[in-house]
Amino acid sequence: MTIPEYISGQDEAIQPRLMEIYSTIRAALPEAEERISWGMPTFWKGRNIIHFAAAKKHIGIYPGPDAIVEFADQLAEYKTSKGAIQFPNNKPLPLELLASIARWCYEKNRK
């Protein structure tokens, strides 16, 4: 399965938001491979960099615990857990923040 196939299999109402997230991460990480890992769209370069997935009321972004700590101030208005961020479906997506997180994860992964 490809990431576009994953997106097309989700609820029609959420597909445009998933495509925005996919396009944002793909543009931020042009060298990364795309795959489905743990049932989620994943960007990979030697290891998993960042995942995302649709949920009923939000889209989950999974950059890992270090990114949550690094971007804590900018993520204050979102629900986070050890390695996940929830972007509610009823709020605009913070695409610039998402791109920054993806690039940060990529750079950290290279070290």
Tell me the pLDDT tens digit for each residue of 71-95.
Answer: 999 999 999 999 999 999 999 999 9
Is residue 67 within 8 Å of 48, Cβ to Cβ? no
Give the pLDDT of residue 36: 96
Q: Which residue, among 37, 40, 41, has the nearest Cα to 29 in the 3D structure?
A: 41
Q: Is the Cα dihedral 16, 70, 31, 84 positive or negative?
A: negative
Fold of 3-110: Aspartate Aminotransferase, domain 1 (3.90.1150)
pLDDT interval class at 111 (50, 70, 90): low
Note the pTM of the prediction, 2 decimals. Answer: 0.94
Segment 19-58, tens digit of pLDDT? 999 999 999 999 999 999 989 999 999 999 999 999 999 9
Average of pLDDT values for 13-18?
96
What ranges make up the beta strands (E) of the chain? Answer: 33-37, 40-44, 48-54, 58-62, 79-80, 85-88
